[in-house]
Amino acid sequence: MSTISLKKWLNLLARLLNHFFNISNVFYILLIFVPITIILDIFFSIDNTVLFALSVLALIPLAKLVGDTTEHLAEHYGNTGGSLINVTFSNTPEIILSIVAIQAGLFDLVKANIVGSILGQLLLVFGLSLIVGGLKFREQIFNKKNIVFHITLLLISITILSIPTILILGNLTVTEANIENQMESTGFMVMILSNSFAILLLSVYVLSLFFTFKTHKDLFVTSTNETDLMSKPNSNAEILITKKIDDPRIWSKKKAIGILAISMIGIAIISEILVSTVEETITNLNLGVLFVGAIIIGIVGNVPEKITSMMMARKGKLDLALGIAANSASQIALFVLPVIIVGAMIMGVSFPLIFTPFELITMFASIFLVYFITNGGRGNWFQGVILVGFFIAIALGFYFIK
Amino acid sequence: MSTISLKKWLNLLARLLNHFFNISNVFYILLIFVPITIILDIFFSIDNTVLFALSVLALIPLAKLVGDTTEHLAEHYGNTGGSLINVTFSNTPEIILSIVAIQAGLFDLVKANIVGSILGQLLLVFGLSLIVGGLKFREQIFNKKNIVFHITLLLISITILSIPTILILGNLTVTEANIENQMESTGFMVMILSNSFAILLLSVYVLSLFFTFKTHKDLFVTSTNETDLMSKPNSNAEILITKKIDDPRIWSKKKAIGILAISMIGIAIISEILVSTVEETITNLNLGVLFVGAIIIGIVGNVPEKITSMMMARKGKLDLALGIAANSASQIALFVLPVIIVGAMIMGVSFPLIFTPFELITMFASIFLVYFITNGGRGNWFQGVILVGFFIAIALGFYFIK
Amino acid sequence: MSTISLKKWLNLLARLLNHFFNISNVFYILLIFVPITIILDIFFSIDNTVLFALSVLALIPLAKLVGDTTEHLAEHYGNTGGSLINVTFSNTPEIILSIVAIQAGLFDLVKANIVGSILGQLLLVFGLSLIVGGLKFREQIFNKKNIVFHITLLLISITILSIPTILILGNLTVTEANIENQMESTGFMVMILSNSFAILLLSVYVLSLFFTFKTHKDLFVTSTNETDLMSKPNSNAEILITKKIDDPRIWSKKKAIGILAISMIGIAIISEILVSTVEETITNLNLGVLFVGAIIIGIVGNVPEKITSMMMARKGKLDLALGIAANSASQIALFVLPVIIVGAMIMGVSFPLIFTPFELITMFASIFLVYFITNGGRGNWFQGVILVGFFIAIALGFYFIK
């Protein structure tokens, strides 16, 4: 066997190993938990806490599958269409889980999950990307305009979504009297406001798409290193995140839609199991609904996404990592939550948009912290420490709300 | 008839039509409601809700008349003196209405009106100017320093003015006990604080005039396009807004003072009617005091001003439009409200400076939103959508406070 | 006697007078109050209010002595080591006083003192430096990055430290029921959170030292005019603030440590007297604990430091003055308070980290105000007026919390 032939074989082996143990694909191994969870749920009377843990683990690869498949599908619809598909479908796992939870009446869990997802993007993804990137690069420059754009969208969304809570807390504090009685009439008010605000935010969302994909497109194309990435894709992970024009590995439209449909059905089934076991788990582990919703489901569910971000930051693409995180955070508030509210409205369920003060204050504080930190346009590891430190403190706070 | 003569006639006709149907002067047609409202009030026993609506309509041209007359008067007192007159007298309509309402004990209405005026400037004028300007120009550059200056003044004013409310809410929440009893002693505290803060803010206001018109004059002259506007006035509307040196159409000092006095008397009379009918209107229409004060009186009263702003933005003078809006907003908090408090003090009326949490939070949120949006120094239509969207949400919130 | 000899004598006299009546050293005259206070406390049964006033006066020169001695000591340990010593020991007066007060159970006083110290740095030192500097220089440029760095640290610290308060206030408002019962379990929660947050913040603090003195050292060296100051020290005051390499007037290591130890013992003794007299003083003067802690002890104690800052600003070194103030403010929240909490933990005292809403809101408002003001990177007198005006309003507010 010649040296060249040996090299070839080693190379092939390396690529094979790389493919399966690629940090990005390794999560697909967790797909094994999907059938395990379903089978255990149907045929065995297993402890609900274990079933809950398994269903959380099973959701991780399913959410990743939806994300990756959406990328493949987006390739077939040009730049703008593709981005729209990407943006719209990438949040389906969260929406499906929330709708299932709302049907089961777990309103606090849904709201906590939304809050946890936003905080996860703003503090954990931002923070870890800054730390991981900052340990390799002394300073990385990023486009602060793009981040401020999404942070502003987030600020307006959160402020609007907090209006019912402010009105109710404000009234309680001022009048004090006859809360029971008041609750009846305020319940009506909260529903009207929730639904109006959902429609208002969805309108702003549609206009924001028009702004970012049509009238002021260039602002956002230049702001990220996406074009750079496209021209020289270095790793599998990047390929899956960025646009892959004319790549033979892109799935056909049929295949993509099929896998998307299957993974969504999987998410719906697993969500049912998760929702049916969460209450007993909360009691068993003596945890609060907010902690389980915000920290366990909200954070664990997006682990692959977070790791991809960190990998990008480590490769000097901090701008891209932060841009995606800011975009995701603003989308959850501006699109996902309003869609859930409208979904509840259609299902005829009263989903009251009342948050705890702690949820609201931590979101506002996170927005301002990210604003202060990104306003210089340069990232270093210590900024990441601040954000992650804040996240740890918030997680501790959630732990004690019961 | 020769072609030239025809052209001349058509031209004259166009100028005549332009003068009367100029969007800026068209509001003077509403002056007809001044005598109508007064006559109906004195000689006919008309429904109070109708009378209220008429008096709101009658206030619009009167407020505009005060504004325009002040501009004419200012011309006679040089640059600094003129600006001072402008700044001082342009707010008289609001002050007169407030004093009349305070005499009638309608404290919540006065505070809501102040809040509505500030939100109207910060969200509606800013937002509509950005939308209208942004539909014509892709991006307009403006001097963010000027805006940040006024936003900072607004932030400190609102924070100081919210101290009594914070103290009372904070105490209530902590002690919970015996609110009635506490209210007696806190009433005393609130009055001392209100009056002290009014004097403190007026001192800061005087120093801010010294800063903007004396020691750091140049910062503000260069920040707006005023000099540009002066050299080439294009339309009637602009002429009325900007300085008109050596313009033959400027009213004489005597005429200006006379019209100013008459319009102020008119405002006082109409305010009396408005105030005497507002409570029945609120009951009849099942509206809240805050909604009527903040949205109906606070917003409708400044319609002409808002339209002029939008027209400026449409002509590429976004910087001027935003500068005037930011200036107006900070003046209401730093000058108008303190003057009203001092006025109440002189009249011997206890005007407690307690806001609802919703009023305070919406003002703070608006300040931060405007700060985030203007910090880039470039305006586009979507920023306007965000601000107007936020205003709609706030208006809905006010609607439900009863 | 020759003219030269006369000149020499006059010169010597001038230097002597300069040394003793230097505004910076003049505070050492107050050292006389240290023995007076101790003697009066032990041998005479003097009115406690007088003794309290004397002990506050006695603390002023002792705190200054610790600060100056630390500077001398720091000289012996190179740049990084010296800065670390400086940073660590300059806060000992505050820590000693707080530990003594905690042993006496005066928790509210300790917290108010911390809040007052932070507000004093952020509003008074910043504000007075801007006014004093601005009256001489039309505009002074400063490095806003350095300030934003510390303001961000302050924001995260204050937010984390406010989490227990938010959780308790939030819960009270939502459930309303059975506060007594709830307080028992929340007491436990508050202690765990306080201690965890103290350790978390101290970790962030250590990492911040690593960031500022090791990995991103250059960001902070270039940001202040320190290098400039070192090359041409003009006055005694500056020498005491800045690094003095090879200066014969620097005390030996032994002398510095000795004086440091003595002054710390003095602070401990005087703190005991202050703490033992403060409650009677509060009752006698009908003041609130918060006012005494935040305004009297928190502000008066740092007078020399504040005057040095103003002198720097007056000499055109506004950047240095603001940098030190921002640094001090962030250190109090990130280092001093956590150390106090850990100290209480070690002493086995439950020190509940619950602030009043007013304390928290004023700190947040101050952070945003300083951020808005410093974001332009240029200082003028009116910015100082805003900050000092805000401080006056806050002090009035504190006066009414009883």
What is the SS3 assignment for C301?
coil
Asked if residue A160 lies in contact with residue B390, where contact means CB atoms within 8 angstroms, the answer is: yes
Mutate one of A140, A368, A370 to test the C interface: name it (highest C CB count within 10 A): A368
Q: Which subunits count as partners of chain B given 3+ CB pairs below 8 Å?
A: A, C
**In b/e form, how buried is each residue of A68-104, taking b as 16+ CB within 10 angstroms?**
bbbbbbbbeeeeeebbebbbebbbbbbbbbbbbbbeb
Provide, as residue numbers in chain C, all residues whose Cβ is less than 8 Å from the Cβ of B368: 368
Q: Which residue of B has its CA nearest to A201?
A: B389
Structural domains present in chain B = 24-399 (1.20.1420.30)
Contact C389 B148 (CB under 8 A): no
Q: Check CB contact of A371 with chain B, cutoff 8 Å.
A: yes
- Distance from the Cα of A53 to chain B's closest Cα (Å) equals 39
Mean pLDDT across the stretch C326-346?
Answer: 92
Q: Check CB contact of A372 with chain C, cutoff 8 Å.
A: yes
**Structure confidence at residue A241 (pLDDT):** 46
**Structure confidence at residue B176 (pLDDT):** 40
CA atoms of B175 and B182, how far apart (whole Å): 10
pLDDT in tens, B203-243: 999 999 888 888 887 776 544 444 333 333 333 343 444 44
Contact C396 B208 (CB under 8 A): no
Using alpha carbons, select from B35, B47, B123, B36 the residue that is nearest to residue B302.
B123
Using alpha carbons, select from A289, A271, A303, A274 the residue that is nearest to residue A49.
A274
**Structure confidence at residue A178 (pLDDT):** 42
Question: Considering chain C, what is the average pLDDT of its residues?
Answer: 82
pLDDT at B123 over 90: yes
- Distance from the Cα of A359 to chain B's closest Cα (Å) equals 16
Contact C167 A401 (CB under 8 A): yes
Out of C148, C163, C204, name the one closest to residue A385 (CB): C204
Q: Which subunits count as partners of chain C given 3+ CB pairs below 8 Å?
A: A, B
Q: Check CB contact of C16 with chain B, cutoff 8 Å.
A: no
pLDDT at C155 over 70: yes
Q: Check CB contact of A173 with chain B, cutoff 8 Å.
A: yes
pLDDT at C244 over 50: no
**Structure confidence at residue A45 (pLDDT):** 81
**Structure confidence at residue C316 (pLDDT):** 83
ipTM computed for the complex? 0.83
**Structure confidence at residue A202 (pLDDT):** 94
Contact B372 A211 (CB under 8 A): no
Asked if residue C30 lies in contact with residue C61, where contact means CB atoms within 8 angstroms, the answer is: yes
Asked if residue A302 lies in contact with residue A19, where contact means CB atoms within 8 angstroms, the answer is: no
Going by pLDDT thresholds of 50, 70 and 90, the confidence category of residue A185 is low
What is the SS3 assignment for B378?
strand
pLDDT in tens, B37-94: 898 988 888 888 999 999 999 988 888 888 888 888 888 887 777 777 877 788 888 8
Task: Please indicate whether residue A86 or residue C118 has the higher confidence score (pLDDT).
Answer: C118
Q: Check CB contact of B135 with chain A, cutoff 8 Å.
A: no
- Distance from the Cα of B121 to chain C's closest Cα (Å) equals 20
Contact B167 C400 (CB under 8 A): yes
Question: Which among A15-29, A107-121, A212-226 has the top mean pLDDT?
Answer: A107-121
Out of A151, A196, A208, name the one closest to residue B396 (CB): A196
Provide, as residue numbers in chain B, all residues whose Cβ is less than 8 Å from the Cβ of C380: 211, 215-216
CA atoms of C279 and C115, how far apart (whole Å): 19
Of A79-83, A323-327, B341-345, least confident by mean pLDDT is A79-83
**Structure confidence at residue C143 (pLDDT):** 82
pTM across the whole model: 0.86
**Structure confidence at residue C19 (pLDDT):** 59
Task: Please indicate whether residue B258 or residue B250 has the higher confidence score (pLDDT).
Answer: B258
Contact A390 C208 (CB under 8 A): no
Find the distance separating the first CA and the last CA of chain B, reported in whole Å. Answer: 67
Going by pLDDT thresholds of 50, 70 and 90, the confidence category of residue C221 is low
**Per-residue CA distances from B227 to B68, B76, B138, B223, C124 (Å):** 19, 18, 24, 10, 38
